Structure 1
Amino acid sequence: MTTARLFRRHALLLAAALALLPVSVSAQPAQEQAGAAPPGADRPVSADGLRLPEPVATRHEIVVDGAPLAFEATAGVLTLTGSSGEEEADIAYVAYVDPEADPARRPVTFVVNGGPGAASAYLHLGALGPWTIGFGEDVIVPSATPTLVDNPDTWLAFTDLVFVDPVGTGYSRLVAPSDRTRDRYLSVSGDIAALADFVVRWSVENGRAASPKAAVGESYGGFRMPLLADALASDRGMALSALVLVSPVLDFAWISPVETNLMGRVALLPSLAAAALDKAGEASREALAEVEAYATGAYVSDLLAGLSDPAAVDRIVTRLADLTGLPEDLVRRQAGRIDARLLARELWRAEGRVGSLYDTGVTTPDPAPTRAAPRYRDPVLDALTAPLTAAALTLYREKLAWVPERQYVLLNGGVSGSWDYGSARSAPEALDELASAMALDESLAVVVVHGLTDLVTPYFASTLVLRQLPASLHARVVEETYPGGHMFYTRPASRAALARTGRAAIAGEAP
């Protein structure tokens, strides 16, 4: 298997994101696990022949902390062009601004989700925007009516917001799809160039070139952010003042399949233990301190000793059975090599349920408990698709008065399946660009936030990667972990904590 294909398979596990693909848990190859893409999303970017309507601006007011918060919303499109001026891509966006604020002082924050192939609705309607919908903390019901309500934790309280849907997501499409434009926009480098072009164009056209600028990305969007900051500063002459990385992957090598990567097991172990603690209502970063120390100490030593050392295997089996709560005979059959899918199913087997890879605390009945290999729709990622899509359509029609004549695509498996990660032999990583951006601008604020029970992008992977930064840079990174999983903001307390952290980073106000 080529390196590019390997990375593409790894990326399917990320989804989101919100990180984020419609993944069904099964024993099939990763690309087959993507499940059914939304109708019309079988190609990375469809040529539907439709163009997006002109931007529409509307005025609104919500109540936050008992006080009115007025703002202007603009839903619209920014068309990116090629080097010779030809139109290439319609990028849909929603911008929320305070029209009374001083644009030279009021921050503006650009927001994208991940996948690649996910629209920005996850962060938009789940955490940052002026309206949100209710989510179940233990069970998410796809058929529940999504009602838009004022978001008490909206980031509009301290920054303007621009939610961006990359090509192939939301309403964004290539204008005239061709192999050349697909190759450009569906790639690591082309995607970053397009996002940088968007940020510059939107800022200039809206009189915000001098405004403080921040960026938020979730999952693969978190991977995007350091690259975007570096590209803006080095190639576009426009700097970001803050980065907030939500459930990011910073280095693909640390989340590759654990069968081939011992450090992937080290990075995942604390989240496996967090799942068991969360089930007992006891998950916290403090409670996991001993697990983290074990993961980077005796655990990695015994992993390196390998299966040929029975004593090392025995030690791992005993400890992992205790940490995960799984039956010791099951752990022994696996020689202590517990992966995310095994734990998500077996942790809840006695209850006849299965947990989500995105948040092990969210479960659904196991539809096939007698199967040797698990096969089920993810209780978070797949369950969120219908309510978030319905909420996005309601938002565009009832709040924003902008209704394109084309399909809205929340998740596009074709985009992720066609993504070009490059041909280099090393895994894609964003740590180099993060270090470069932080070194160039010593005032750049960086926040990395994870959910404890996320098995897709484990929090400890980011912790270990960030430790590789020089001490002076590492000291400037704020790391936070909250109850919940990949989309931890579905839990109201974690959403509120994220808002406080974002306010401190972007507006410089103490949380």
Structure 2
Amino acid sequence: MKNQLLTALFILYTLVSYSQEPTEDKKIPEGEVYTSSQSVSINGKTINLDTETGTIQLRDENDQPIALFGFTHYKKSGETNNRPIVFAFNGGPLSASFWLHFGILGPKRVVINDPDYTKPAPYTIVNNEFSILDKADLVMLDPVGVGFSRPVGEAKWTDFWGVDQDVRSIGLFIDQFLIREGKYNSPKYLLGESYGTFRNAALVKHLQDKGIAMNGVIMVSAVFELQHLLFGPGDDIAYLTHFPTYAATAWYHDKVKNKGNSLESFLEEVRYFTENEYAPALLKGDRLSVSDKASMAQKLSDLTGLSPDYWIKANLRVTNSEFFQELMREEGETVGRLDSRFKGINEDLLSQNAFTDPQSDAISAPYIAAFKDYLYNDLNANKDLTYTTTASGREGFKWDWKHKGNVSWNAQTAISTLPDMTSAMKRNPNLKILILNGYYDLATVFYGVEYSINHMGLEPELRDNIIMKYYEAGHMMYTHLPSMEKFKKDVDQFIDETSKP
């Protein structure tokens, strides 16, 4: 009996020991990188590129694997490590970086029928003469949840899905990538679009606190304070920040009484009106007299094309979705959110709010299809791997909006990374910020950015480190050929000026 017991214990010990040994299936993957040679022609000069795409294993602060982090890296062939490097990403949250990648930054771009619908495949893919690759190496990042990026080991999706979680993981990637490439002593830049600018405002301080100071940060279609985008009850800020873009949209679609000499001169008048007449009227609330309300409704109508009666019914407060639907209701059309130059069929003429975004409908298919064709066939990515364009379809996806930089409030509508950027600039007076704004962007409105910048409490000499550029296009201004040319010029000049020793 004793021998049988000993035998049983030995077998049990052997089984337990064996089960604890790492098996092939339980090994944490290292990531896979696929290489290719690409080239781009800019200003008549061909630049040869060493390219890699795929994933690398991301480690936490204790060097434990937490993710396979997806990226595409373009490096000028034969170049030294002193060349500037740009880390770029889109927004969402969470969106993969193919928009910027195949729209303006990479060596190739897809041709869009701006500002109309692009016909189905075959799409036209061309050399991108507006790429930044003549000025800098480029790393396109796909945060965990999109692209090929995913958690590994003990990590979970929720470890990456949130304002601070996102900043931490991208900060880890940039730190480890700089070490990998020997680029710690090179000029360094962040470039983000949409939520990517909200991310950038916090990320630049996060990296700076860890000893990684950026030469510059490029903000494409920026937002730093969510309050400016959300029409909260009793909060008039979003109505004010959106109004100049309503007016710009009406100007573009010939819905205003007096267009003036140019869009810029028209918008100067709109800014003045917003600050000196519209804002005080909203501030009075229900104390505004009936006659003053009627007078204000007429002025709002003159600048936006919406009828005075509509403004009265809306209590002088029109949300963006209501505006999309109302501006061209009589023509049976609705205008775009991401770019209000785009028009689409109004699916319900009785609806108060727009059902869809014509700009998104018009460009999503060509961008996604053309990029994936390039990714799998030109960049040699593994065709057994799924490239996820957005995390919104992932089961259980939910973003954690809490931010440690907001010490005095917790409400989602008040989340802001502007204090982070303000602190980073005050602690690093050499930091330069380039902000690119689309006049017809109703997703992240230009006047909201101006409001934020004007409330940072910066001294004039530090305020001069923020450079604002404007485009007669929308959120993705790079769908518009003249704006592509201007984008290239503005970003080139910024990198040239900020990368000098």
* TM-score higher than 0.5: yes
Q: Distance in 1 between matches of 2:58 and 2:132?
A: 27
In the TM superposition, what is the alpha-carbon distance from 1:141 to its structure 2 partner? Answer: 3.1
TM-score normalized with structure 2 length? 0.86
- Post-superposition Cα deviations, 1:20-43, rounded to whole Å, max 9, x if no partner, equal xxxxxxxxxxxxxxxxxxxxxxxx
Aligned to 1:337: 317
Pairing 1:285-296 to 2, within 5 Å after superposition: 285-296=264-275
Q: Percent identity among equivalent residues?
A: 25
* Corresponding position: 1:208 with 2:183: yes
Checking the alignment, whether the CA contact within 8 Å between 1:50 and 1:405 is kept in structure 2 is no
In the TM superposition, what is the alpha-carbon distance from 1:144 to its structure 2 partner? Answer: 4.3
In the TM superposition, what is the alpha-carbon distance from 1:137 to its structure 2 partner? Answer: 1.7
Aligned to 1:174: 151
* Corresponding position: 1:476 with 2:465: yes
* Corresponding position: 1:129 with 2:106: yes
Checking the alignment, whether the CA contact within 8 Å between 2:32 and 2:54 is kept in structure 1 is yes
Aligned to 1:140: 117
Checking the alignment, whether the CA contact within 8 Å between 1:52 and 1:405 is kept in structure 2 is no
Q: Distance in 1 between matches of 2:371 and 2:181?
A: 24
Checking the alignment, whether the CA contact within 8 Å between 1:126 and 1:132 is kept in structure 2 is yes
Q: Distance in 2 between matches of 1:489 and 1:52?
A: 36
Structure with greater contact order relative to length (CA < 8 Å, sep ≥ 6): 1
Aligned to 1:273: 247
- Post-superposition Cα deviations, 1:306-333, rounded to whole Å, max 9, x if no partner, equal 2342233223201110001122222222
* Corresponding position: 1:325 with 2:305: yes
Checking the alignment, whether the CA contact within 8 Å between 2:123 and 2:370 is kept in structure 1 is yes
- The letter of the residue matching 1:443 is N
- Of the candidates 47, 57, 72, which is equivalent to residue 94 of structure 1? 72
- Of the candidates 410, 418, 421, which is equivalent to residue 425 of structure 1? 410
Q: Distance in 1 between matches of 2:29 and 2:363?
A: 28
- The letter of the residue matching 2:215 is S
- Of the candidates 76, 89, 99, which is equivalent to residue 54 of structure 2? 76
* Corresponding position: 1:364 with 2:344: yes
Aligned to 2:128: 151
Q: Secondary structure at the match of 2:48?
A: strand
Query: Please, which runs of 5 or more residues in structure 1 have no aligned partner?
Result: 1-48
- Over 3 Å counting, the alpha-carbon distance change for 1:452 and 1:144 in structure 2 is farther
Aligned to 2:220: 246
Pairing 1:17-416 to 2, within 5 Å after superposition: 54-104=32-82, 106-141=83-118, 143-175=120-152, 181-235=156-210, 237-257=211-231, 259-280=233-254, 284-309=263-288, 310-369=290-349, 371-414=350-393
Query: Please, which runs of 5 or more residues in structure 2 have no aligned partner?
Result: 1-26, 404-408
TM-score normalized with structure 1 length? 0.84
Q: Distance in 1 between matches of 2:254 and 2:134?
A: 35
Question: Who wins on radius of gyration, i.e. which is larger?
Answer: 2
Aligned to 1:456: 443
Q: Distance in 1 between matches of 2:446 and 2:357?
A: 20
Q: Distance in 2 between matches of 1:258 and 1:347?
A: 22
Q: Distance in 2 between matches of 1:70 and 1:211?
A: 20
Q: Secondary structure at the match of 1:343?
A: helix
- Over 3 Å counting, the alpha-carbon distance change for 1:54 and 1:406 in structure 2 is closer
- Post-superposition Cα deviations, 1:357-385, rounded to whole Å, max 9, x if no partner, equal 1111101111222x333453311224433
Q: Secondary structure at the match of 2:429?
A: coil
Aligned to 2:3: none
In the TM superposition, what is the alpha-carbon distance from 1:439 to its structure 2 partner? Answer: 1.9
- Of the candidates 483, 486, 489, which is equivalent to residue 497 of structure 1? 486
- The letter of the residue matching 1:312 is D
- Post-superposition Cα deviations, 1:124-174, rounded to whole Å, max 9, x if no partner, equal 111111111111222133734333211110011211110000011112112
Q: Distance in 1 between matches of 2:488 and 2:28?
A: 37
In the TM superposition, what is the alpha-carbon distance from 1:74 to its structure 2 partner? Answer: 1.1
- Over 3 Å counting, the alpha-carbon distance change for 1:413 and 1:213 in structure 2 is same
- Post-superposition Cα deviations, 1:17-72, rounded to whole Å, max 9, x if no partner, equal xxxxxxxxxxxxxxxxxxxxxxxxxxxxxxxx996862122222232222222222
In the TM superposition, what is the alpha-carbon distance from 1:294 to its structure 2 partner? Answer: 1.1
- Over 3 Å counting, the alpha-carbon distance change for 1:307 and 1:140 in structure 2 is farther
Q: Distance in 2 between matches of 1:63 and 1:169?
A: 30
In the TM superposition, what is the alpha-carbon distance from 1:228 to its structure 2 partner? Answer: 1.2
In the TM superposition, what is the alpha-carbon distance from 1:259 to its structure 2 partner? Answer: 4.6
In the TM superposition, what is the alpha-carbon distance from 1:83 to its structure 2 partner? Answer: 4.8
Q: Secondary structure at the match of 2:168?
A: helix
Checking the alignment, whether the CA contact within 8 Å between 2:145 and 2:157 is kept in structure 1 is no
- Post-superposition Cα deviations, 1:375-422, rounded to whole Å, max 9, x if no partner, equal 533112244332222122111122211125232221221579511011
Checking the alignment, whether the CA contact within 8 Å between 1:216 and 1:246 is kept in structure 2 is yes
CA RMSD of aligned residues (A): 2.3
Deviating 4+ runs (over 6 angstroms):
49-52
Aligned to 1:25: none
Aligned to 1:41: none
- Of the candidates 494, 497, 500, which is equivalent to residue 508 of structure 1? 497
Q: Distance in 1 between matches of 2:30 and 2:323?
A: 45
Aligned to 1:440: 427
- The letter of the residue matching 2:284 is A
- State the number of aligned residues: 457
- The letter of the residue matching 2:68 is D
Checking the alignment, whether the CA contact within 8 Å between 2:325 and 2:354 is kept in structure 1 is no
- The letter of the residue matching 1:215 is L
- Post-superposition Cα deviations, 1:160-196, rounded to whole Å, max 9, x if no partner, equal 11000001111211225x7x63332111111111111
